[in-house]
Each structure stands twice: as structure tokens, then as C-alpha cells.
Amino acid sequence: MERTPTTTFPQRRHWLIGAGLLGLSGAGAFALWPQKPVSVRIGVGQPLSGPLAALGKDMLQGAQLAAEHINRDGGVRIGTQRLPIEILSADDRAEPQAGVAAAQSLVGQQVLAAIAHLNSGVSMAAAPVYAQAGVVQLAISTKPEYTQLGLPTTLRLVANDDMQALALAQFARQKLGAKRIATLHDGTPYGKGLIEAVSRSLIRSGSGPVAQQVVDDKGTEFGAAVRELAQAKPDLLITTVADFQVEALLPQLNAAGLPELPVLGSDTLKTPRLGKAEVGSRALYASTPIVSAQEFLGGKDFLLQFRERFGGEPYYAAHYAFDAIHLVAEALSRNGSLDRTKLLERLKTFEGHAPVTSLMRMGEDGEQRSGAVGIYTLSKGQWELSVRSGNW
């Protein structure tokens, strides 16, 4: 678990020094002032190592930027106090067991809410830990079952895969005119679940996939799967594997005699990584419930701040983490307390200010009420929006 400094407030600096001298951490430090908290602690549980680290670090940076922005303005107003936000991060390594450990670490540090996690399987595995502690869990994960666990604390930041599956199937059939569709997934709850939903939608519209292949979620050698795909002679490949895997897959498809096979991927495909890949004349598409920051009215200011702070462009969904921190801060301020139950109730019912997306609204069921899914086309190394809808 990494503690990320987000402020230079004197009272917080003195508290950290005092806690260190006494050999205290987390709950022990809070015990020094049981009636007077000195910061608002928000956790960020994401893959900070491994193949998906770039996505997780992007989420962390978005949260850090929001905390710094709020702290520069004086912090979060809680009644007559103003408290700085403190971001605590934990590496879930994109693995369910590590996600549980990350959640336990964040809960042990007495966070009020957690931007956690990226992968659906990790979010679902960790959800009971947050729920038991009453910690609001704000996930970028898209598997529908995440909010159907019977736990009150599971909230989603984007549209779920029911909508994304419809978008993938409809775009494949209606926009691309594909008739012989093959699928490839990584066996994870997210990847498998989304492909199964796509397959059901394809069957309803005429016929199912002509080939269905499964690979390891961290592997990059796809010999057996590629041979099966070549034999099936598809006119489109729909896949839910990650960007680094598609990058490795493309030359293997070329070698198997499929250099023109279009690839339609899902949200972890739409990253800058594929913009640098050798795609040749192959058409490459990606569906995603994550709308690019520059497509929002508030995106310009966010991008300027992000570039100045981190020296580059956002990689994935930093602006969603940025907005989530702002929503939590506003909810706490409106409540006038750090009560976790009241925070959860507020987040499920109010229309707070999301500086970038402006439309981040959770319902009583934890689902995102303003979600939409877009399909993007890779053109000259850049992802360009083809179509987006909240009603596929």
C-alpha cells in the first residue's frame, strides 16, 4: 500500500510526523484525535504493476489531481472545518486475491470511499470487504453482476456491459455488415461475460459466432487460437482481450493469412498503445463506456492540468477518477459530516458537480444513470469516435 501526499497543510504534516514518531499508522494515528479527524482519506485500488499498470496508474493520477485541486481551494468543508483530502493507493495487480488484500489494506487505513477497481473480477472479489466496513466502492468495472451482489456499497462510474454488448453486436451487424463473426476472450469474468452477452445478441440477430476462442489473460502467444480462427474464415473478430494482447495478436494474424481481418475490441483496447502498433491496412475498432476527456466541455481544462502535473496525456480514464473524487468531496460537504452511511445515501441520490463529465449520476441500484457506449475507429494512430449512444 502506498500513501500518496496530496497537500502541504501544516496540520496534516504535523500529524504525519507525530504518527511516525510514535510508530503509529492508520487507525492508531486517528486514535490520537478520536473526535477530530485531520484529513479525508480516499483509497485508490488499481493495478499499479503488471500488464495493466498503465491503466491503473492513470486512474490514480486522476484521483491525485482532483485531491490537489480541492486542497488548493482549502480542502473539503465539513461543518465549520476544512479538511484536506489524502489519497491512499493499493496495488491489486489485476488479480482477485490481490484485490481483496488491497481492499483490506485500504479499509484498515480508514478510508471513507475507494476508487476501486479496474477489473470486474477484482471489483467483485473485493466488494464484500468494502461493504463490511461501509466503505463506498466506486468502480470503473463494467460487468453487470458487480452491482447485483446484494451489497449496498457497489457503485459504478460508467455504463455496464449489457449496453456494451448491444453496442458491439449492433455495430458489427449493422455498421460493418459482418456475417461470419469470430470471438476471442481471456476467460476473466469481464472478458468472458461480455463475449457471452455479445454472442447472445448475435444469435438474436441471425446467427452466432463461427468460432469462439479463449486465451490466458496475461499471455501473448496465441498460436492455437489463431490457427482455429484462420480455419473458420471470419469476416470480423470481436475480442475483449487487453491492448497489449491485441498488439501481440495482430502480427500473428498476419502470419496466419489474416492481414485484412477487422478487429472490434472492447474498452481496454482503446488506449494510446495501439496507436503505436503496426496495423497495416487492417481496420481496428473499439467499444467503450469511457468517453474521452476531450469530448466533454470540461475536458479542456482537465487536460491542461493533467499535462502540467504529469507531463503527458491521460492513458485511460483518469478523468472519471478525477470526477469521482470531486463527487465524494461535494457529498461530504453537503452532509456536513464524515459519516459513511450518509455518504453512500448522498451519492445514490444527488446530482453533484462532476467537473469533466458533468453527468456522473448513480442510482439506488449503484448503476450509472447517465452511461453511454461509443465505438471508436483507429485512424492514423488516433482513436476517432464513430458513433455513441446511451440507447443501443
So what's the pLDDT on residue 279?
Answer: 85
Q: Does residue 47 carry a pLDDT above 70?
A: yes
Distance (Å, rounded) from C-alpha 117 to C-alpha 384? Answer: 27
The whole-number pLDDT of residue 206 equals 83
Domain 161-288+374-389 has CATH 3.40.50.2300: yes
- Which set of grid coordinates corresponds to residue 324? 469521482
Delimit the CATH 3.40.50.2300 region(s) of the chain: 2-159+294-361, 161-288+374-389
Give the pLDDT mean for 266-288: 91
Alpha helices (H) in the chain, listed in sequence order: 10-21, 27-31, 53-72, 96-108, 120-133, 161-170, 189-204, 223-232, 243-255, 299-310, 318-335, 340-349
Residue 5 has pLDDT above 60, yes or no: no
Question: Which of 163, 196, 194 lies closest to 265 in space, CA to CA?
Answer: 194
pLDDT at 200: 95
Grid coordinates standing for 108? Answer: 484498515
Average pLDDT in the 62-83 region? 97
Contact (CB, 8 A) for 186 and 180: no
Structure letter (DSSP) for residue 173: I
Select the more confidently predicted residue: 63 or 36: 63
Q: How far apart are CA 229 and CA 242, in angstroms?
A: 18
Segment 248-255 mean pLDDT: 96
| pTM for this model (two decimals) | 0.86
Q: What SS3 state is found at 259?
A: coil
Residue 324: name the closest of 73, 52, 44, 80 by CA: 44
How do residues 128-176 score in pLDDT, each as one tens digit? 999 999 999 999 999 999 999 999 999 999 999 999 999 999 999 999 9
| Grid cell in block for residue 365 | 441500484
Query: Do 54 and 315 form a contact (C-beta atoms < 8 A)?
Result: yes
Q: How high is the pLDDT of residue 275?
A: 86
- 302-353 per-position pLDDT tens digit: 999 999 999 999 999 999 999 999 999 999 999 999 999 999 999 999 988 9
Q: Does the pLDDT value for residue 17 go beyond 80?
A: no
Band of pLDDT at residue 277, cut at 50, 70 and 90: confident
Q: Which pLDDT does position 278 carry in this prediction?
A: 83
Can you read off the three cell numbers belonging to residue 127? 466488494
pLDDT at 35: 57
Enter the CATH code of domain 2-159+294-361.
3.40.50.2300
Residue labelled with grid coordinates 461543518: 79
Average pLDDT, the chain: 91
Pairing type for strands 382-389 and 373-379 reads antiparallel
The pLDDT of residue 290 is 95
Q: What is the pLDDT of residue 99?
A: 99
Task: Summarize pLDDT for 94-138 with one digit per residue, the tens.
Answer: 999 999 999 999 999 999 999 999 999 999 999 999 999 999 999
Nearest Cα residue to 96 out of 47, 149, 157: 47
C-alpha cell at 145: 453482476
Beta-strand pair 263-265/284-288:
parallel
Per-residue pLDDT of 173-192, as tens digits, reads 999 999 999 999 999 999 99
| Lowest-pLDDT choice from 240-244, 283-287, 380-384, 388-392 | 388-392
Q: Across the strands, what pairs with 2?
A: 89
Grid cell at residue 258: 489474416
Is pLDDT above 80 for 197?
Answer: yes
DSSP 8-state code for residue 171: I
Q: For residues 162, 164, 169 and 172, what is the CA-based torsion angle, rounded to 10 degrees? A: 180
Angle between helices 223-232 and 243-255 (to 10 degrees): 60
